[in-house]
Each structure stands twice: as C-alpha cells, then as structure tokens.
Structure 1
Amino acid sequence: MTSTRTDRWLRLDGTTNTRDLGGLPTLDGGTTVPGRILRSDNLQTLSDADVHRLVTDVRLREVIDLRTTAEVLLEGRGPLRALAEVTHRHFSLLPERGHHTDVFAVEESEVTDLPADWAESILPRQVADTDAGEPPAVRSYLGYLEHRPDNVLGALRALAAGTDGAAVVHCAAGKDRTGVVVAFSLAVAGVPHEEIVADYALTAEVIDALVAKLAASPTYAEDMVTRDVASHTPRAETMDRLLRLLDERHGGPQGWLTGHGFGAEEQAALRARLRD
C-alpha cells in the first residue's frame, strides 16, 4: 500500500484538517489529480492569508458545506462568504429542526432568532435504524446513507459538476460527514479500499489540535468536553467496516450510488473530476 502520509496537507492558520485528495494511487496504476477537491474542517476562522492562498494559489471556487443549518447560522459568515467568485452549497447529512430552502440566503453575521431547541440539532447522533450490533461510528455513517441519501448525492453531484478551479468539502471537524462523502468520491475515482481507509484515518494525526479548535467555539464546546479525545479520533477499522458493508450489500460504493440514481454518466463525471 502506498502511504497517504505525504505533503497533501494544506497548512492554514484557520484550519487544522485540510488536505488535498490528489496524489492517491488508483487501481489502474494512475493517481488522483491535485488541486481538484480538498477536504477540510470548518472554514469559519480562515485568516486573510488563508483566503488569499485558497482563492489565488489553490484557485478555490466552490465550497460544499455538510453542516446542519443550525451550525451554519450559529457560526455566522466565514470570510469566503464575502467573495463572489466562490460558490457555496449546503447539504446537511444530519437531521434538521426547521427548514430553510436556502440556508445561505438567511445566514447572518449575528443570529438572534433561532428557535430555542435548535441547540439540540447542532450535532445530533443520527444512526441507522438497523445494524444495532455495529460500532456507533459505523451506525452513524450508515445513518447518513439511510436518512439523508438525497444530500449525500447532492454533495457528490456538486463535486462531479465541478468548476474551473478547486472545490472543498467540509463539515465541522472534516472527519465523519466529510469522510463519508470523500470515501464515495475516492471509490468512484478508482482509489483502492485500503487507501480510502488510510486517508480517513489520517485525521488522527491532527486530532488534538482539531478538538482544541472546536472546543474554542461556543457552538461545539460542549460536545468536545463531554467526550475525551480518543472518542473523537477516527479509526481505520471504522471506514474499513463501512466499505465492507457497502461491498456486501450493494457491490461497493458505486453500487450504492447506482441504486440511488447516481448512474454511470454521473459517476464518470465525478471520476473525471479527480482523474482527467
């Protein structure tokens, strides 16, 4: 197995878990192309230098945000939201309280009218209705696929459509929700199972800094302090188990996508985003 521990990390002032999906080996002997798709934790605290680097050097043109509406509104506008050349798209993979047709249209720098119970929907523990014997993280990931397949597909369609530049997919920590969308993207691009697992587990290298960053935000502080760092750390066996279940039940991530209407043409477009 070729190691994913390379210079794919993008070291920024305002994030701790940003890396490029380029440079990964594929089953046909190729590699994924750098500068197409990035994965990241929350982008709210990017510095001016970060924004310049992302937009000018990396040519970032699209943000795929997997957070809940409550997270987006409570965190407020990030610096990339002020740039007309960067398109933002929102696809929550968790349950929502209330409904907004366009979360970014109602996003404000200071939120004053959120319903009181929205605090309960910041990081809900969504799990699959079955599979009670699976580890909690695996059940959570299966829950995204069971309860929010529309938004999993929406995020992948946004990545497949692409732009003349790079896209970044992110959630709060850039490990769970982002990890599932990235796993599907890499599988479609032909990255082998073990490399997808290794990329997922790479977040463990920065978990202390990541937890500390989220704990400094009122939005996430309680969730960070009620569990220890080990419980937040992504484990290779979690993604390995998810991929094995997808293999057994659907013939792999591609089979799940086909069964949910994301067919050969769209899969080819997503593959091209990372390969051609």
Structure 2
Amino acid sequence: MTKRTWFITGVSTGFGRELAQQLLKAGDKVVGTVRDLDKVKDLIEAYPDSFDGQTLDVTDVAAVKRVVDSAFSRHARIDVVISNAGYGLFGAAEELSDSEIDKIIATNLTGSIQLFRASIPHLRSQGGGRIIQLSSYGGQVAFPGNSLYHATKWGIEGFAESVAQEVAAFGIGVTIVEPGGARTEFRYGSAKVANLMPIYDDTPTHAFLKMLDPKNGLAVGDPARMAARIIESVEIEPAPLRMVLGSQALQSTIDTLKKRIGGFEAQTELAASTDFPPNE
C-alpha cells in the first residue's frame, strides 16, 4: 500500500488509537490530536519521526483551524483527514442537562464540521485527498435513551453527504464510517450517562444500562479489524460514501431503512394530493 500522511483527531483511545497504531506500524505518518499529550507519550517515544502528537480540543473552533493549518504547513501534504473525536451520551431527552447537550453537540457535530471546513482548502490546494468521518450505525438507526447522540450523528451524516458532493470536483473523497458496537472505551469507559430519573427505569429508555455493563456480554465488534477496514477504504476509488462495520449493525440498518421506505411509499397519494393539478 502507498505510504501516506494522516491527520486523526482523538487518538488517545478507541478507534483513533487503533488507527494510529496500525498506520505507524505500517510505516505511515500520523498527525494525531489529543486533549492531553501524556496519553500518547508512548507513541511519541516509539515513533519520534512519524508520529506528530498535537494538543487539540475540537470544541475550540479557533484551535481546530490553527492545528490543521499548522499540520499541513509542516507536512506539506496530508493525504487523509479522519474526524474521529467524539463520545456517547445516554439518557432520555428530559434527563439531559443544558450543558450536556451543548457539549456533545460542540464535540460530535460542530467539532467535526469545523475540521472539514479547516481541511478542505488545503486538500483542494494540493489536488485532492480523503476525509473520513467516524459516525455510527446510530446515524441511521435510532434507539431510546440516545437522542442527543443520534442528533449529532444524523446531523454530521447529512453534512458530510452534502459536502461530499461539493468537493468531488476537486478530487476530494468523503467516506462516512458507521461502526456497530465494538469493544472500545466508547462503550466501556468514555460513555456519559445523564442524571437518570426513576420514572424511566421500567421503560425501554434505560435499556442502555444493560449494554454499558460488560458483565452482560461484550460487543461483537473488533476495533482492530474495523480500523483495518477503514484504512483499506482509502484505496477504493471512488471513495465509498458510507461503510457499515459489523454484521449486526448492517442488518439493523437494512431493516430500519426498509421499514422507513415502506412508510414513505404508503404516503404516495397523500404526497400527490398537495401538488397543483396538471396544467395549473
């Protein structure tokens, strides 16, 4: 495979960490961002010539642009930008605080949008490249107790799909990655839970509590295999718009979309009833 330079947000844990480790081991260069460089001290020491660790909180819009501009300046060319930083927030809509809502939107949605915006001028100037947005099959399928997480993932998927059409003429490909459940810190460490209300305890809304407890069984997704498929995707031309990782995630997505399409098709007469009659 061609040696490349990658820019990846959130490389301290989860998919970001797995991606960085596999790429560095293969001889690629990685600009990896974290909020605390101590968490990637091992990568800095092990790969002094190929790992460029940078401090970044993606909720800081000015910092996103500054770090991206600096990275492209130092490395001349960055082939792939991976928007990975993000986290899960669980709880019913009314259980969430204003600050919890603001923070997850700033991180998962606005942070990713600003990374795209900061990267596109550089990718366009160098004649192309690839942007990969880590989403989730939760960007297509919705579950109770995940409303704000879904809001960010559905939002970033709409944004990325639109931008993919805007930048295709410049040789920039965009891929939305939709993993299913995986054995990462996302589910078993970094997930945030709202201040829960007992009224929801016996409803589907709090079913996520069972999922977050590893005692009830681990997710089937292998982060290493998922990361490998993400890396391999940059060899595909044209860039795949969406890539679902995990058999359960794919089946759930297909089932959900079939049901959604059926609901739309049932509205054929209703939709047509609001049109002007022909020749009017």
Give the TM-score normalised by structure 1: 0.31
Q: Bigger relative contact order, structure 1 or 2, given CA contacts below 8 A and separation 6+? A: 1
Structure in which a larger fraction of residues adopt helix: 2
Higher strand share: 2
Larger radius of gyration: 2
Q: TM-score, normalised by structure 2?
A: 0.31
